[in-house]
Amino acid sequence: MKAIIISIGDELLKGHRVNTNAPFIARELGGIGIAVSRIVACSDDPQAIRDTVASALADAEAVLVTGGLGPTSDDRTRDAVRELLGRGLVLDEPSFERLADYFRRRRRPVTDAMKDQAMVIEGAAAIPNTKGTAPGMMIECAPRFAGRYLVLMPGVPAEMEAMMRLTVIPFFAPLSGAFIRHTPVMTMGIGETLLAEMIAEVEEALPSGTTLAYLPHAAGVSLMVSTSGACREAVDAENRHVVEAIVAKAGHFVYATSEETLEEVVVRTLLDRKLTVAVAESCTGGLVGSRLTDVPGSSGCFLEGLVTYSNQAKARLLGVDPAIIERHGAVSEPVAAEMARGCLLNSGADIAVATTGIAGPGGGTPEKPVGTICVGVASKSSDGSVQVEATRLAMYGDRRQNKIRFSEAALRGLLVRLKAMES
């Protein structure tokens, strides 16, 4: 079964809003073996909606539409589709009762005008809206589009997501006739070109039912291994074989084969080993601490974070000798090492990380250009001694990109040290 996703709204075409609905729908469909062949953004114009939906129904067995089902004047999807299919509207009583109850609980009057939101296209099965007011619709499109299914859902992400999980996916799952397995391979500390060279043999030998996608992001690149077929066991085995081959080639650059962020892996590792962490940040301005504390449960391992942006703060709060700053510069391995050491000793944590760098756009020199980052990591060994290391790296991007990449380097340094402490 093939699917097409249509996202309706002038705001998408004008760049006022990012289309987050389509990726969610595609992932959910992929999980039940339905491949998405096309994602389309369409304006609120009724003729454009009719033309776009008609083209999609001619090309795919399932067409999923979001947007244009609300009560305002620019919500035109329902009437445009009704005209396309040559059908009328009927009141869906359960939808109207849910709508009326929604307004009663908010102490707002229930009027006859509200019935319009509960009107669905003739022959459609209403999809309950558990997060809002307007119902969705599941439509078999015969006779004009025999064997085609059309799904209409609101554009509000929470409403659409609930409809997908509770109604749409359970409906289509038995009809897909295929299985798809997606496995992410999360990498750190390696660029797309080098990674491609490293796993070239694996990519060249991919089985016919498996694809490999490169997913660059601000902090680096990850991979997605996708395998499809008619037999679940065969699909799982083939997908697992390719993932294992990639991990064998990429080695320590792979930190997870699941949808985990680097900070999630770091926090999980800390919690599993009952260790605590503290951070001292200069160029990242608190971003490392923010990413770690974004992870639920991080209070079990995160002790404290300091933003020591000035040289004076590095000396006063972390005990960095001003003479070291004067001799080597604030952005240097010795200063990063002393920042990490001071953070570890002052906080009482088991491991600490420190960042100092030049995010840009100014402040660089030929010796230390914009994008230079020094990461210090300090930890306590079993005999109570302190182990400190510092690394200098070069990043390339604007200020925001560099800060993200700097924070990624700090988290990577934490994870590498945690793995070394385990061995």
Local structure of 24: helix, strand or coil: helix
The counts of H helices and E strands in the chain are 16, 17
What pLDDT does 422 receive? 77
Compute φ and ψ for 385, nearest 5 degrees.
-75, 160
Local structure of 67: helix, strand or coil: coil
Residue pointed to by tokens 């990413």: 291
Q: What is the largest CA-CA distance in the chain?
A: 83
Local structure of 397: helix, strand or coil: coil
- Please compute Rg for the chain using Cα positions: 27
- Residue ranges of alpha helices (H) inside 252-389 are 262-272, 287-293, 311-318, 322-328, 333-347
CB atoms within 10 A of CB 173: 13
Strand partners, 66: 7, 153
Report how far apart, in Å, the C-alpha atoms of 80 and of each of 62, 134, 149 are.
18, 16, 16
Which residues, 6 or more positions from 309, have their beta carbon under 8 angstroms from its beta carbon? Answer: 282, 285
Pick left, alpha or beta for residue 192 (phi over 0 → left; psi -120 to 50 → alpha; otherwise beta). alpha
Strand partners, 227: 181, 210
CA 129 to chain centre: 25
pLDDT by residue for the chain (423 residues), tens only, comes to: 899 999 999 999 999 899 999 999 999 998 888 989 999 999 999 999 999 999 999 999 999 999 998 777 778 999 999 999 999 999 999 988 888 888 888 888 877 767 888 899 999 999 999 888 889 999 999 999 999 999 999 999 999 999 999 999 999 999 988 888 899 999 998 989 999 999 999 999 999 999 999 998 877 799 999 998 989 899 999 999 999 999 999 999 999 999 899 999 999 999 999 999 999 999 999 999 999 999 999 999 999 999 999 999 999 999 999 999 999 999 999 999 999 999 999 999 999 999 999 999 999 999 999 999 999 999 998 888 999 999 999 998 899 999 999 999 999 999 999 999 876
Element (H, E) at 214: strand 210-217
What is d(CA 225, CA 40) in angstroms, rounded to the nearest whole number?
24
Cα angle at 170 between 165 and 171, to 5 degrees?
Answer: 120
What pLDDT does 110 receive? 75
Question: Model pTM?
Answer: 0.77
Report how far apart, in Å, the C-alpha atoms of 324 and of each of 201, 304, 330, 344, 377 are.
48, 25, 8, 18, 17
Q: Are 344 and 386 in contact (CB under 8 A)?
A: yes
